[in-house]
Amino acid sequence: MSTDNLPGVPEEPIARLGMFGAGDSGDTSGYGRLVVRRPARPSAAKPYGGYFDELADALERAAGDVYEGMVERVVVDRDELTLHVARERLPEALRHLRDDPALRFELSLGVSGVHYPEETGAELRAVYHLCSITHNRRVRVEVSCPDADPHVPSTVSIYPTHDWHEREAYDFFGIVFDGHPALTRIEMPDDWEGHPQRKDYPLGGIPVEYRGATIPAPDQRRSYA
């Protein structure tokens, strides 16, 4: 939804209106006047606190000279650590996190897709949630790619359980995981057009049949205004 010439909605930082940011009458949540302002992109500096410093130091030792080109940004927020990693270095970073004795993130809790349409050049994100059973620690790894080149290296060879998770991120967000053994849709039909969890995906208006009943588009249902 455009916020041009709307009172009380600043141009910076980026803002949108409504719970879902729908640009038409599709937002029937009752929160159409909600104003969402995005804070500046966070970045943390050492000392991070807790075991985060030990984790970052161990990864830096394991990666050696390529560490600076591997970890683009570190974010500490709500007592959680996120490493923003260059996508071409993703498999290498995950191998270090899994195999180095000081790290030992042997368990992956899954791969998530995220869509930030306002982040030009980094609209799509793949997020990896890792857990170290050995050291009782957690870390989040995040990579970004542009919508015009939505490619990220597959990590199925490192964490085999990423197989279906990467398929889901491809299905719903359109992230192409290069090297995946069988990258196909996992929930939507094979001939489905588009990726339903992107924020620019149409909100409703798609004919749906459920046991013979047709579900109308949101703007044809009850209004909460």
Per-residue pLDDT at 204: 64
Residue 150 in domain: yes
Residue 15 in domain: no
Residue 38 is encoded by which pair of tokens? 């995005």
Residue 48 in domain: yes
State the virtual CA torsion across 191, 192, 193, 196 in degrees, nearest 10.
-160
Q: Is the pLDDT of residue 197 over 90?
A: yes
Which of 71, 137, 68, 65 has its CA nearest to residue 98?
A: 137
Question: Which residue has better confidence, 138 or 193?
Answer: 138
> How many separate domains does the chain show?
1
Cβ count near 86 (within 10 Å): 15
pLDDT band at 129 (very low <50, low <70, confident <90, very high): very high
CATH number at residue 150: 3.30.460.80
Distance CA 107, CA 91 (A): 15
Q: Is 132 helix (H, G, I), strand (E, B) or coil?
A: strand
Residue 95's domain comprises 42-194
Per-residue pLDDT at 43: 85
Residue 213 in domain: no
